[in-house]
Chain A
Amino acid sequence: METTAVRGRLTWQVATVTAVTRETDSVVTIELDPPAWLGHRAGQHLDVRLTADDGYTAERSYSIASAPGEPVAITVERLEGGEVSSYLTGDLRAGDELELRGPIGGYFVWEPGDGGPLMLLAGGSGVVPLRSILRHRRRTGSDIPARLLYSARTLPDVIYRGELDQDHDRAQVIYTLTRSQPPGWAGHTGRVDRALLAQAAWAADANPLAFICGPTSFVETAAAGLVGLGYPPERVKTERFGGTGGR
């Protein structure tokens, strides 16, 4: 199989899985070593292709979880009955090979020069590309203020919780739990709506730059809410995924 990537063309290559880390009951982070990786930008994704014995193939896109300059990693949530996500979260082990191509995307990406303050909104595993942005911000020493509003079903469903809480002094993280809350929970509850956005988002006159990633309905609500608060539509970047990922 051809594995040499030519600049300007995107070719499939076989990467080696170097580590699989469990994030939550249904989510793993897969670290990869692709032989020809030209580097990625914060917020980009890659395509994974599985091929069965009979030649049947299935392709899926996964956001890159690591910052530019770090080893390539994706974070995958197991979807109910998902033929690809079940394999990636249940069967894949370090040392296995995985066919992929990337990096992909030039719209949902952030560079420190793009300005801010950064308003990041995550629904469930939509936090993955936003984590790449937060890591990139930290690694580049950017002093652009950043705030993450993260909607998850329950506290144990929060991905990267330790990392996000550790980074709390540099990036403000606000959780809202939609399904159930631990005893004594003082944070927000319920889905992201206009009222929560009005409370949690940067004021529009600060000229914030927003990135929203999550299930389609979450993104529609959040984007409309920010625009309703006065955010210019061109400063609200969106990425929707079709799965039924929890939020």
Chain B
Amino acid sequence: MDALDGNAIGGLLIDVFGTEMTAARSTCATCGDTRPVAELVVYRRAPGTVVRCRTCGSVLMVFVRRDGAIGTDLSGLASLDTLGGTGSLCALSPGQQPGPGAGDARLAVGPPEGCGRPVRGLPRLAGRAGWQPGSGLGPSRSGACQPVDQVQRRWP
């Protein structure tokens, strides 16, 4: 399965965040790499999407569609900033809500104790063990991935 990039999940990100996010600046919580979401490495295999850091390969975001809802795990990110600004760890205080306008949405996803500190070595949040390559949500190393595009189907 070829890796895509963040451009490919522009629609999904609008579903999740309510605004265009491919130009948003992401910061990896593991290595501190900062770049537009469009440049991140994306693996799509319904119903899951895994987004990895282009520099260190860490899982930054996981999205899983189920029953019309989208389960979202952003714990690999230190920050996500649609202003394309500082990449700071705490664009918002913990518990603070993003601003009301679509143009100024910011999310702070690092733990509160990370504010102002180097991002390297932040504690990883629980619930990550299942999202490993080969589990169907990352690059398959067993070659077991069957792209849905290989299934023949008739459309009405």
Contacts and interface: CB of A to CB of B under 8 A. Distances in A.
B154 to A, nearest CB: 7
A110 interface: no
* Secondary structure type dominating chain A contacts: mixed
A238 B37 CA distance: 11
Interface in A225-247: 237-243
B86 to A, nearest CB: 15
Given A83-B151, A106-B22, A242 B156 contact: no
A107 B22 contact: yes
A55 to B, nearest CB: 11
A201 to B, nearest CB: 20
Contacts of A81: 149-150, 152
Given A9-B18, A105-B10, A106-B20, A56 B153 contact: yes
Interface string B1-22: 1111111101100110011111
Given A8-B19, A52-B155, A81-B152, A104 B14 contact: yes
Q: What is the interface residue range for chain A against chain B? A: 35 or more
Given A82-B149, A238-B39, A10 B155 contact: no
A61 B1 CA distance: 17
Nearest to A223: B39
A87 B4 contact: no
Interface in A54-111: 56, 58-59, 61, 79, 81-85, 87, 91, 101-102, 104-108
Interface in A141-185: none
B8 A61 contact: yes
A103 to B, nearest CB: 9
B36 interface: yes
A205 interface: no
Interface in B80-112: 102
Contacts of A106: 10, 20-23
Contacts of A91: 155
A239 B149 contact: no
B60 to A, nearest CB: 16
A45 interface: yes
B10 A50 contact: no
Interface string A29-40: 000000000000
B8 A241 contact: yes
Interface of B: 1-8, 10-11, 14-15, 18-23, 36-39, 44, 102, 148-156
Given A58-B148, A84-B149, A101-B11, 16 more contacts: A8-B102, A45-B10, A52-B155, A61-B7, A85-B149, A87-B155, A104-B11, A104-B22, A106-B22, A106-B23, A107-B6, A215-B2, A238-B5, A242-B4, A243-B2, A243-B149
